[in-house]
Amino acid sequence: MSASPQPAPRVAPTPGRAWWLGAPIYQIYPYSFADSNDDGVGDLPGITARLEHVASVGVAAIWLSPFFTSPMRDFGYDISDYRGVDPRFGTLADFDRLIERAHALGLKVVIDQVYSHTSDQHEWFRESRASRDNPRADWYVWADARADGSPPSNWQSVFGGPAWTWDARRGQYYLHNFLAQQPDLNVHNPRVQDELLACARFWLDRGVDGFRLDAVNFAMHDPQLRDNPPAPADGKVRTRPCDFQLPLYNKSHPDIPLFIERIRELVDSYRDRFTVAEVGGTDAEADMKSFTAGTKRFHSAYGFNFLQADRLTPRLVEQAVSAWPDAAGIGWPSWAFSNHDAPRAPSRWASTQDRAAMARVTMLLLACLRGNIFIYQGEELGLPQAHVPFEQLRDPEAIANWPLTLGRDGARTPIPWRSRMPASSHAWLPIAAEHLALAVDRQEHDPHSQLAFTRRALALRNSSEALFAGTMKILEASEAILAFERATSTQRLLCVFNLGHDARSWRPAEAERWRVIERSDGSSGWALPRLSGWVAEWIGT
């Protein structure tokens, strides 16, 4: 395998600026990234072997989705041993080699931590369900039935149906905001918090550089078990029972930030570590700001502003970034257009003929936003959502909601490293035929490919203090045009995008004092063809 082109050197950080501030981070979904032993499942040695490619994209860190021991009912987000590596993915020694190789390439390593729930196969839950008076009896959320035998509250699971399952051994219901096989931890319990922190310390001691905290707004429930109120009609199609109610009491408890402060205190006892929270839901800003407020909580948070959007509009971008002004007491945002939980952005936001243009303009836009940016594996290749036939679906949410949603499996298919990758009869998900033309070996040395463009866009970000950590000022957010300025005391950049389907132009004031330094298409001057963008630098005095 030939060596990957190396990106331009990253901008030297200003004194006192943390490595993660503004950093591009590459998400790896271990199941599908790289299979080193041809068993149909990606693994840690496969990731290690492909880290040179990741480094060449121009990111500062990788984020690994769960690789922990798990029965895989939710493909790693149902953990049965927080300190173990699932044999499907390798061993702890394999993980140590991955850390060593990543650090040698200048990559930080961020891993998932799932503190809201475990697998029902975890030893903690097995003990907890055995009786009402064992040492871990109150480590999970248990409650008696109502007088008529119905669940203790009306809370609904994200994956469909009641968020409560009856357990005959205890004669009680247990809470699960996700699958019935994912019982919720009672994180109100200080002993549970202590044990979760001990698990975090285990990985910090092995050299990880930070954590992405999964579904952390579900970490605590309302102890009074009050019913959620119905959600007002919004005209949208509702495919899940949980969409019919406002989740006031099964998540976002006001004591969660106190636990977050304990996590941050632990992380800060190690040098240069990073924390970022995933905050799901349609109204996530309040939690995101609470979880990142001040200097004692998470460093950053991201929600689903873009991941749940069926259209990319200037107004959507303006609303998202305006919620995170550069002001005292406001946390630092993170942004993602695609990930393992959302259909790939080119398929959500563009028709088939426009997906290549959409992949380029969104990569340039992402590279220009203020905050950390997350790039999902395959996004650098411009992969669209793969078609997975119903009989090959693996995602429980996709199966439950078929055919009303695209589901998550189409974003989780194997990465096409070679255009002639054979279809494997035992692959956990099929290799998408439509992805082979976008394989890494086809794009690697093509200067006009999406991969080459991604490297240029991130090289631009990595060489620009204004894009990394400068201020952001929206100049226009009209029906089609998004224009904003990124600036520091020594650099001004103008970032202009046409997110519409008609050609436009956007000429800045004092145009002769601006120079275009990057564009997503082959136009010139101030032209903005459909789904395109450019970045200009101020050269005036």
Instruction: State the amino acid at position 298 in one-letter form.
Output: F
What is the signed CA dihedral for 256, 154, 285, 283, rounded to 10 degrees? 170
- Residue recorded with tokens 């006892």: 269
14-42 burial, b for 16+ CB within 10 Å, e for fewer? Answer: eeeeebbbbbbbbbbbbbbbbbbeeeebb
Would you say 263 and 213 are in contact if contact means Cβ atoms under 8 Å apart? yes
- Residue 70 Cα distances to 166, 202, 449, 474, angstroms: 22, 18, 38, 45
Catalytic site residue 52?
no
Count CB atoms within 10 A of the CB of residue 249. Answer: 20
Calculate helix-pair angle for 355-368, 450-462, nearest 10 degrees.
Answer: 10
Task: Give the start-end residues of each E strand in 221-371.
Answer: 274-278, 300-302, 332-336
Collect all residues with Cβ–Cβ distance below 8 Å to 118 and sequence separation of at least 6. 78, 79, 80, 124, 125, 182, 183, 185
Rounded CA separation 401/49 (Å): 36
Residue tagged active-site, from 78, 214, 444, 485? 214
Instruction: State the amino acid at position 483 in one-letter form.
Output: A
List the one residue out of 28, 179, 41 whose CA is nearest residue 107. 28
Decide: helix, strand or coil at residue 44.
Answer: helix
Rounded CA separation 173/188 (Å): 18
Both tokens assigned to 353 = 């003929």
Collect all residues with Cβ–Cβ distance below 8 Å to 267 and sequence separation of at least 6. 200, 204, 210, 211, 273, 274, 275
Catalytic site residue 265?
no
Rounded CA separation 323/317 (Å): 10
CA atoms within a 13 Å half-sphere pointing along the CA-CB vector of 245: 21
- Work out whether strand 492-498 and strand 514-519 pair parallel, antiparallel, or are unpaired: unpaired
Residue tagged active-site, from 35, 74, 86, 278? 278
Active-site residue numbers?
214, 278
